[in-house]
Structure 1
């Protein structure tokens, strides 16, 4: 009975995501959130849908995902930045599922753009680069979920160890500069320009990006035992905190 209730609730959530229309208000600005858009909110929703599809194998859910990407490919994709990379994570799995060559074309182009042109901070970390807000010299914990998971997946799809190693490097650089050693939580960001963690905010959503991102990262990658143990210990420390 409990499982039936859980299934019912999950399916309601999936339906709500597919028909998402709303407005998010943060501080002095507001913006619309809809599945018609392409950015991190849609990327998170798509990945949740795919993970549920992988469990239930519902053809209708797979069709929704395929149709969503087809519509956006026809309309034209946005510029490559951290937030706009998020939907590409789901596309890596859809490519494995369907073998659609159009998916591979878009995945390769996006990945190559990140490696060749993505701005970096000192020590090679990915700048939290947004087209409308470059954030020069800044590391944010959001980047790990939005961009680095995609890079790790592309290393697997293309059988390129260098991409996998780049994803490891990004986690290590971000952990180095964002960890608050007093609490075990992560600061939201680090600015190399002034060498500070902004307001030293241990942002709840930012910490959740790290928790969710690292859990998925550890499940989707095969790492050397030392690296895996290190990443798992940081996750354990953060979750306890």
Structure 2
């Protein structure tokens, strides 16, 4: 798995099995489901078929993102392969995946790099969301409890007690947050994932009150550092750093979702709409989304985050697509309420 090569432009290459095309594919499925676009579902079925051989091999956290499609693809097609493969992957997560000394999933990647006993916020979206979706499909209480426990562990270990924002990562060996950057996209992965995780698992298992309270503390902190134009800075508490589109889209989409499922009050819609208005001018006529920062491990310093280059990326395209899809859904709900 680690030696699998992508084709051409890594950030815009759908033809490999990793988190980048995974976020793009998840986003397409959300749009296709909301819009009733069977053509999109058909594309994704063909995409999985073309790339499923690349999914075979050593499992790592970042290669799990595409599996978040499988519960819905199983529901749509009835193909038992989707369910069987999803159950195998969930078994690896629960039984074999490397963990930190606190019991949290260690963040592992497809590249030839290791981050022993490091926990990254990215994992909540790349792996825990999949567990919650499979739990929602199967009604498996063990999966639901695992998804909730993992989410809460990430919030506990990453949340800054002073600001309420999340640090990018945690190093269990050193007992610190490494560069201690409150990186925007790290916060976005969690803000975006939690509403769906809670909605899916809350029907099967009890959601800890601590998870609710930490999430509310996080989103309240994010509203305080939102830029005047609606976007968030790539390091949240550094207003002198550049504004970043993918994180802003993920955070705003999370706000929309959290309001829709009853996790947040309607007042958060104002922040989400403000971000949407700031993002729309960054979508070019050809659909390319501008202002997206490149793939970012935990950087050696806070300053290094501001030096990450910006270029088109499937996760940027996808997060903006998710925001537009959720905004469309929210508008439809508002229309229904007004009747």
* TM-score scaled by length of structure 2: 0.59
Q: Is the 8 A contact 2:147 2:197 kept in 1?
A: no
Bigger drift between 229-238 and 179-188 goes to 229-238
Q: Distance in 1 between matches of 2:167 and 2:117?
A: 16
Aligned-residue offset at 1:75: 5.2
Q: Is the 8 A contact 2:191 2:215 kept in 1?
A: no
Equivalent residues, number: 214
Residue 122 of structure 1 corresponds to 101
Indicate if the aligned counterparts of 1:211 and 1:239 stay in contact, CA closer than 8 A.
Answer: no
Alignment-derived partner of residue 18 in structure 1: none
The correspondence for 1:158, drawn from 135, 138, 146, is 138
Seen in structure 2, the aligned counterparts of structure 1 residues 204 and 47 have a Cα distance that, compared at 3 Å, is same
Whole-angstrom distance in 2 between the partners of 1:220 and 1:22 = 37
1:1-241, aligned counterparts within 5 Å? 23=9, 31-74=10-53, 77-131=56-110, 132-222=112-202, 224=206, 226-227=208-209, 229-230=212-213, 232-241=215-224
Q: CA separation in 2, counterparts of 1:215 and 1:73?
A: 29
Alpha carbons 1:214, 1:235 under 8 Å: kept = no
In 2, Cα distance between the equivalents of 1:211 and 1:22? Answer: 31
Aligned partners of 1:32, 1:225: CA distance in 2, in Å?
A: 36
CA deviations 1:150-190 (Å, max 9, x no partner) are 11222233322111111111111111111112222110011
Instruction: Say which structure is richer in helix.
Output: 1
| Alpha-carbon distance in 2 for matches of 1:237, 1:74 | 43
Instruction: Structure 1 unaligned segments of length 5 or more: list them.
Output: 1-20, 24-30
**In structure 2, what is the Cα distance between the partners aligned to 1:62 and 1:201?**
38
TM-score by length of 1: 0.81
Give the Cα separation in 1 of the matches to 2:207 and 2:71: 25
**Cα distance in 2 for residues equivalent to 1:207 and 1:229:** 15
1-side partners of 2:145 and 2:171: how far apart? 24
Q: Structure 2 CA distance, aligned partners of 1:75 and 1:220?
A: 29
Q: Report which structure shows greater RCO (CA 8 Å, sep ≥6).
A: 2
CA displacement, residues 91-114 of structure 1 (integer Å, 9 cap, x when unaligned): 211111211111112111211122
Summarize the Cα distance change of 1:154–1:231 in structure 2 as closer, same or farther, 3 Å threshold: farther
Runs (4+) of structure 1 exceeding 4 A deviation are none
How far off its partner does 1:122 sit?
1.6
Q: Equivalent residue for 2:287?
A: none
Query: How many angstroms apart in 2 are the aligned matches of 1:87 and 1:209?
Result: 15
Structure number with the higher strand fraction is 1
